[in-house]
Structure 1
Amino acid sequence: MLLSADSCLTALVFASDMLGMGVFALQNDLKHIQFRDSFCIFRCYVGVVSCTAFNGSFLLQAVYRYFIVVYPHFLFCYLWPIALLFTGDIIYNVDNQIYQLFICRVVPI
């Protein structure tokens, strides 16, 4: 929830900054004003910082989802066969000359 709120807040800051820059540029274009002020530099700085924070919040969400969803499954895929080694579920079938894994206890054909 906090990660989504972070993304929403940075999106709101970025959108309001872009709207402010657009309105400022439109007003200066309509009045034919061609100077830059210190507030223009500040708006550009806020735009770059908020865009970087916006992308960073998406990166943070992706890392969180990786560790919550993918990483435990990845560990399970490696640890589950190790448990089969120690419980004796892998049996050598002499007739077919292969190792068989019996997940459920049934008679092989």
Structure 2
Amino acid sequence: MLVTNSYLTGFVLGIETLSMGLFTLQNDLKQIEYQDSLCIIRGYLSYSLCAVENYSFLAEALYRYMMVVYPNYLFWQSARTQLLFLCSTWIFALIFPVPFIFTGGIIYNVDNQICQLPFQ
């Protein structure tokens, strides 16, 4: 279940990155240098999906650690625990970039024509 989540997250992140690249190419070809209305949403999705992917790898690593070090504790092997890991991963990763939206932390980079955090 955890590996499937990692594959699904990687696939969705790949689609989002491809769509952002196509949008950037389209703006380059049309020489558009202003921010569109969906810029903040694309930036939010980019950061939250990247966080989901990283946290899904963390959940896999924790699960494997528990399987090797504590093989007799069946609580860590149950589907309910794995589902709890997955739900907490998605909830935390979707909430984590919300402050960037409300504080104006996601800005439009005119040189690269993408939305990004100021410290990148």
TM-score by length of 2: 0.57
Q: Percent identity over the alignment? A: 49
Write the mapping of 1:77-96 to structure 2, written as runs, cut at 5 A.
Answer: none
Length, aligned pairs only: 72
In structure 2, stretches of 5+ residues that fail to align are: 72-120
Q: CA RMSD in A?
A: 1.4
In structure 1, stretches of 5+ residues that fail to align are: 73-109
For residues 50-101 of structure 1, the C-alpha deviation after alignment (integer angstroms, 9 at most, x for no partner) is 00000000000000000001344xxxxxxxxxxxxxxxxxxxxxxxxxxxxx
**Inter-partner Cα distance in structure 2 for 1:71 and 1:38:** 50
SS in 2 for 1:33: coil
TM-score by length of 1: 0.62
**Which structure has the greater CA radius of gyration?**
1
Q: What letter matches 1:39 in structure 2?
A: L
For residues 18-64 of structure 1, the C-alpha deviation after alignment (integer angstroms, 9 at most, x for no partner) is 00000000010011001111212111110100000000000000000
User: How far 1:11 sits from its partner (Å)?
Assistant: 0.6
Greater RCO between the two (CA within 8 Å, min separation 6)?
Answer: 2
